Amino acid sequence: MTKKTIRAIDALQEAQKIAFAPFIFQTTVTLRKLGVFDLIFDERGLGGVTISDLSKKLSVSEYGLGVLLEIAESYDIVTKDAQGKFELTKTGYFLNYNKTVEVNMNFTNDVCYQGLFHLNEAIKNGKPEGLKELGDWDTIYDGLSQLTPEVQKSWFEFDHHYSDGIFEEALNRVFKNRPKTLFDIGGNTGKFALQCLNHDENVKINIFDLPGQLKKALANIKNEGFEKRVVGHEINWLHDNPQIPKGADVIWMSQFLDCFSEDEIVKILKTCVASMDSDTEVIIIETFTDRQKFDNAKFVLEATSLYFTVMANGNSKMYNSVVFMELISKAGLTVKEDLAIGEFHTMLVCKK
Ligand SMILES: C[S@@+](CC[C@H](N)C(=O)[O-])C[C@H]1O[C@@H](n2cnc3c(N)ncnc32)[C@H](O)[C@@H]1O
């Protein structure tokens, strides 16, 4: 960002907003949960709604609504007219109705909020010190299948929101050379594997993941009747000397490598290289911080990096493409195709 001239009074206001950021965040979560935003929006045709109407219709005290809406007005989330009628601003509208904002907000509240209190320790120790708020695991991925239902729902909705949308578009390139065997590294719930199985009736899939996730993926595959074409492999890439078999035509890694530090990424890719022949393609999907058209997308990635720091593993992040390309070449891979996919993602097709 370039240096901007800003009046001291405005800078102070910005600083105060940050000082009280958790207050406005929780106010917004509460206004959503109580249905206040919905009701204000529904009544917009009547020129807005007063606190006393909101109180009667929602059975929430006027005091409670008053303290919430007062600060929401200062943050430009709602407006109040001379008759005391509230309406949503554009920001208020996005906070209640934009899907990406909703997914991010639920993820922040349910998965990260309490853990973020330990960010300072996490930075000092290089460990996900906030994770203890959710459970006793080395990384969040060891505990994914054991998270409480609400936390799990928010985690998976966040994960799927940023990958589901590009799977369909990716299939054309993935199946260009008619792969017979595809390895899905970090197969998660089996969503991409299922799309491949439906797309090509001959392809066989090997899914690699931690035990809890692998069990979930294989159960989903079985539910859809595809179990004969899928083999599951338990693996923990953080253990010494992880191995995968030979025989893949395509090794697929979607939003997987960002779960690891730079050294770990090189180790994982070198393991893949050892299993590849000269035709095997490694297809990597990532969202790079330096390839976003919009500042708000870059900002979401920067916040996601802090999730990795404090909750997930303590040492990974959303990467810059230049840094990432160096890791790929260090592992002995060459990028053959560098493709934009969807609005935010990059697809890298690599060979050894
Ligand atoms: C962010 S999710 C991505 C899932 C999916 N590929 C997608 O595009 O949505 C990362 C996946 O990597 C797996 N994973 C994370 N750390 C791992 C580790 N140390 N060993 C094996 N798998 C791991 C997680 O269980 C999860 O399924």
CATH of 8-97, one of 1.25.40.420, 1.10.10.10, 1.10.150.130, 1.10.3720.10: 1.10.10.10
Cα of 84 vs centre of ligand 1, distance in Å, is: 50
Instruction: Provide the residue type at 163 as one letter.
Output: S
Q: What is the pTM of this model?
A: 0.95
Which pLDDT band, with edges at 50, 70 and 90, does 4 fall under? confident
What digits encode the pLDDT tens for the residues 140-180?
999 999 999 999 999 999 999 999 999 999 999 999 999 99
Q: What is the three-class DSSP state of 253?
A: strand
315 Cβ closer than 6 Å to some ligand 1 atom:
no
Q: Count of residues for the chain?
A: 352
Cα of 102 vs centre of ligand 1, distance in Å, is: 23
Cα of 187 vs centre of ligand 1, distance in Å, is: 7
The residues, any chain, with a CB within 8 Å of residue 25's CB and separated by 6 or more, are 108, 109, 113
Contact 275, 246 (CB under 8 A): yes
What is the β-pairing status of strands 230-234 and 281-286? Answer: unpaired
Contact 220, 229 (CB under 8 A): no
pLDDT at 1: 56
Contact 92, 24 (CB under 8 A): no
Contact 264, 327 (CB under 8 A): no
Domain with CATH 1.20.58.1390 in the chain: 99-158
Q: What is the CATH number of domain 99-158?
A: 1.20.58.1390
Mean pLDDT of 223-245: 97
Domain with CATH 3.40.50.150 in the chain: 166-351
210 Cβ closer than 6 Å to some ligand 1 atom:
yes
What digits encode the pLDDT tens for the residues 254-267?
999 999 999 999 99
Q: What is the CATH number of domain 166-351?
A: 3.40.50.150
140 Cβ closer than 6 Å to some ligand 1 atom:
no
Domain with CATH 1.10.10.10 in the chain: 8-97
